[in-house]
Structure 1
Amino acid sequence: MLKIHVESPQSVVKPAGIPFLALGFRPFFLLAGLFGVILILLWLGIWSGGIKAPLYYNPVTWHTHEMLYGYTAAVIAGFLLTAVRNWTGAKTPDGIPLALLAMLWLAGRILPFFSAWIPGVLIAIVDIAFLPLLAMAIQPALWKGKASANRIFVPLLFVMAVPNLMIHLESLGLVVIPGSSQDIMLYLVIFLVALLGGRIIPFFSESAIPGHRCRRYPTVEMASVTLLACLILAQVIVPATLSAGWLTGVLALAAAAVQLVRLWGWHHIDVWQKPILWVLYTGFLWLVVGLFLLGLASFAIVPSSLAKHALTIGVIGTLTLGMMARVALAHTGRPLKPAWPIVAAFVAINVAALIRVFGPLLLAESYAFHIHLSGGIWFLAFAVFLVVYLPILIRPRIDGKAW
C-alpha cells in the first residue's frame, strides 16, 4: 500500500524576508484564486461569443488546458512546495526563486493572448517548462527526507508535462494525436487526488474527531492505485475508438466502487459538523460520481461532458478550494475554523458542480442557462476566497513563527 508519509522537520529553514514569498502556498494560492475568477469570466465571454479566445489554442482546448495546466497546476505547486518542506524540514524555494517560478506560471497564462506577435515555440517552451521546474524545485528536499514514498511526486510531475507537450505540438500544427491529451492530464490529476486524498483526509479526520479511527484496507488501497493507473494507460495505449468504450467504462466503474469503499471507511458522522472536513469529503464524493458518470459515458448512456465536469468542477474545484482554505489557515498560525463566507463558498462550489453536471441532463433545453448559472456561482465562490484570504496570504504568521 502506497502511503504519503509525514516526517518531523529535520532542520531549521531561514524564512524569506517578504512574508508573501516565505512559502509556496502564499503566491500560488493567491494566483490560483485570482485565476479561478478570471478564467471563468473569460470562458463565459468566449463561449457566448463576446470575447475572442487566444489564437494559439482553439477555444475548447484553451478552456480545458487552462483549467488543468493553469489553475490546477498552481494549486499543485502551492501545495507541494509547502508540504514537502513540512514533511522533510528541508528548504524549498522561497524569496526570489519562488517569485521567478510564480512568474513563469503567470507567463504561461498570458503569452497565448499575444501569439500574433510572439513565436508559438516560445509560448510552448514557457508553458511546458513549469511542471518540470517544479519537480526539480522539490527534488532536493524530498531526497533529503527519509520517506522514499514521497519521491513519487517528482516523476509524476514530469509525466504530467508530457500531455502538455502533446497539446502544444498539436497547437503548433506539428502533429495530430489520436485521443485527447487533455483527458490524460485530467486522469493524472485524478490519480494525484486519489493518492493524496487517501493520506490527508483520514489524517485530518482523525486529528479533528476525538477517538475516530479511519478504516483503511491494503487491498482496497492497492486497487485504487492500480485501477486509476490502468485508466490512464488505456488513454495512452489503446486506440481512441476502443478506449472510449468498454475498457474505459469497466475501469471507471470499478474505480468508482473502490473510491466509494475508501470514502465510507474514512467517514464519521461528526465530519458534517466541521466545514473544513466536509468540504474535502464532498470533493472526494465527486470523484466517485465523476468516475461513475465516466463509466456510463463510455457506454454512451450519458454525455462524456457530464463526467468531465464532475471531475473538474466537482473534484478539482471543491477539493482545491477546501485544501487552499485549510493549508493557508494552518501555515499562518490560525485556528482551523474558516470564516462563514468561506463556508458559504464551500457550499457554492458544490452547487456550481451540481448545476453544471446535472442541469443539462435534466433540462437539456436550458443548457446555456446552466452554464452561465454554474459559472456565476463558481465566480462568486472564488471571489469570496480572494477577499477573505488575500490578507492572510500576504501578511506574516500571527503566531510569530517563521513559516
Structure 2
Amino acid sequence: MAIARLRRYSGPAFLSYGFRPFFFLGSLYAALSILLWLPIYAGELQAHSVFVPIDWHIHEMLFGYLPAIVTGFLLTAIPNWTGRLPVQGLPLLALVVLWLAGRAAVFFSADIGWQAAAVIDGSFLFAVAAAAAREIIAGRNWRNLKVLLPLVVMACANGAFHIEAHVQGTSDISRRLGMSVAILLISLIGGRIIPSFTRNWLVRENPGRLPTPFDRFDIASLTISAIALGVWTFAPDSDISGLLLAAAATSQAWRLARWAGDRTLRDPLVLILHLAYAFVPVGLWLISASIFMPAMVPIAAGLHALGAGAVGSMTIAVMARATLGHTGRQLRAGPQAIVVFAAILIAAMLRILAVFIPYDGIVHAAGAAWILAYVGFLLTYGMALTTQKAR
C-alpha cells in the first residue's frame, strides 16, 4: 500500500517525504549554526539578531534545529498511522520555506524588527501542528492527536522566548520550557522506538534477555519527569525542583537499564540510541546537583548534557535509522556512520567538560566535533535523502 501511494507522486525525490528536506537542511543548519556560534562566542563576529548571543544560540538549537528534525519525523510517521498520502510536493515545500524564513528572520531580527521576526519564526510550528492535525483527523487516527500537544507547547514556548527577550533583554522561563518539552519528546519517542528496535535486533542476532515491555513503571517515570521538569521550569532554584529532578533522573536511568542496551554492542545503529538516551538521566542529575551545589556543579553542565548530549545525539541516531529504513537501504552502520556517532558523543562530553574546565580550547574542540558529526551525517546519508528510494 505504501509503495502504491508513493508511485502517484512524480515530483523530485527531495520533496517526496518530510524526513528528506528536514533531516538534510536541519543537519546542515546544525553544522552552520555552530560554525557561526564559535566566532560569535569568541567576540569575533556580530550577529544581526535582537537576541543577545547566548539567546540566539539557545533559540536556534531548541526552536530552529530541533523542530526541523521533529517535523521530518512526524511527517514521515503520520502516513503510517493514517494510511494517507504523506505531505509532499508544494505543501511540503511551503513548510520548508517557512522554516528557512524563520531562521533568516531570527538572525536578521535587528534589521526587520523583533515583532516581524517573532511572527515569521513562530508561524512554523503552528503550521506543522495544523498540517499534522489535518492528516490525523482525516485519517480518523484519534489516539495520535496527543502528539500535537508537545508541538503546541513548543510553539508557545517559542513565542514566549521572543517576548521575554524583548521585555527582559534575555530569555528565562521560555528557554527552560523549550528544553523540558525537548526532553519529554525524547522520553516519549525514545521509550517507544529504543526497546522496539533493540528487541528486533536481539531476537534476530543475539537471543537472550530482551527489553522490558512498556508497563506502569514507564508511565510512572514519564509522569515524574514531566512533573519535575514542569516545577523546574517555573522554580529553577527550588529545593523541591532539585529533589524531583533527582527522582526523575533515577527513574530514567532505571528505565534505560531495563532496555538491554548492554547486549547491543555489536550493532552501533542500536547502541547509539541507548548511549544518546543516557544523557537524559545524566543531564537531570547534573541540574539537580547544580541546585544544591551551585559552586561545584554549574547549571550549564546539565543544560549541555540535555542539549548537546540528549538532543544532539538522539536526533542524529533517529535520523540515521529513519533515513536508512525509509529509503530502502540496509539497516547497518558502516565506518562513516560510526565516525558520525563517535563525533556527536565526543562533542557532548567535551561541552560538558568545558563547563568544569573553563578553557576556550575545549569549547572549540566540542564545536569542531559537533560540526564533524553533522557534516559527516550529510556526507553519509545525503545521497539517500536526495535521491529515489533504493530497490
Specify if TM > 0.5. Answer: yes
Residues 242-287 of structure 1: CA deviation (Å, up to 9, x unaligned)? x323122111111111111111111154311101111100000111
TM-score by length of 2: 0.93
What residue is the counterpart of 1:265 in the other structure?
258
Contact 1:11 1:90 in 2 (8 A): no
Distance change >3 Å, CA 225–CA 177, structure 1 → 2: farther
Determine the structure 2 residue equivalent to 1:155: 149
Deviations 1:118-158 (A, max 9, x none): 23211110111111111111112223556544221112211
Q: Distance in 2 between matches of 1:306 and 1:216?
A: 32
Are 1:172 and 2:166 matched, yes or no?
yes
Determine if contact 2:327/2:388 at 8 Å carries over to the other structure. Answer: yes
Structure 2 Cα separation of the partners of residues 121 and 178 of structure 1: 16
User: Does residue 208 of structure 1 match 2:208?
Assistant: no
Q: Where does residue 5 of structure 1 map in the other structure?
A: none
Select 1:350's aligned residue among 345, 356, 359.
345
CA offset digits 1:208-248 (Å, max 9, x no partner): 11145311352311222211221233145x4x4xx323122
Q: Structure 1 pair 287/123, CA: closer, same or farther in 2 (3 Å)?
A: same
Q: Which residue of the other structure, out of 131, 139, 144, is the alignment partner of 1:137?
A: 131
Structure 1 pair 139/340, CA: closer, same or farther in 2 (3 Å)? Answer: same
Contact 1:167 1:182 in 2 (8 A): yes
Matched, 1:384 2:379: no
Query: Which SS does the other structure have where 1:117 is aligned?
Result: helix
Give unpaired runs (5+ residues) of structure 1: 1-7
% same residue: 35
Contact 1:179/1:235 (<8 A) preserved: no
The aligned runs of 1:8-157 (5 Å cut-off) are 12=5, 14-15=8-9, 17-145=11-139, 148-157=142-151
Q: What is the identity, as a one-letter code, of the residue corresponding to 1:386?
A: L
Identify the residue that residue 324 of structure 2 maps to in structure 1.
329
Corresponding residue for 1:398?
A: 390
Task: State which drifts further: 108-117 or 314-323.
Answer: 108-117
Alignment of 1:229 with 2:223, yes or no, is no
- Give the letter for the 1:375 counterpart: G
- The residue number in structure 2 matching 1:310 is 305
User: Which whole-Å CA distance do the structure 1 matches of 2:110 and 2:171 have between them?
Assistant: 27
Partner-residue secondary structure (3-state), 1:50? coil
- Flag structure 2 segments of 5+ consecutive residues without an equivalent: none
Q: Does the CA-based 8 Å contact 1:54-1:62 persist in structure 2?
A: no
Q: Distance in 2 between matches of 1:50 and 1:279?
A: 35
Change (3 A) 1:116 1:214: closer
Paired letter, 2:191: G
Q: Letter of the 1:160 partner, please give it.
A: M
In 1, Cα distance between the equivalents of 2:134 and 2:328?
26
TM-score, normalization by structure 1 = 0.90
Counterpart CA distance in 1 for 2:67 and 2:363 is 24
How large is the RMSD of aligned CA atoms in angstroms? Answer: 2.1
CA contact (8 A) 1:26 1:78 kept: yes
Give the 3-state SS of the residue equivalent to 1:272 in structure 2: coil
Runs of 4+ in structure 1 deviating by more than 6 angstroms, as ranges, are: 8-11, 175-178
- Alignment correspondent of 2:315: 320
* Counterpart residue identity of residue 130, structure 2: M
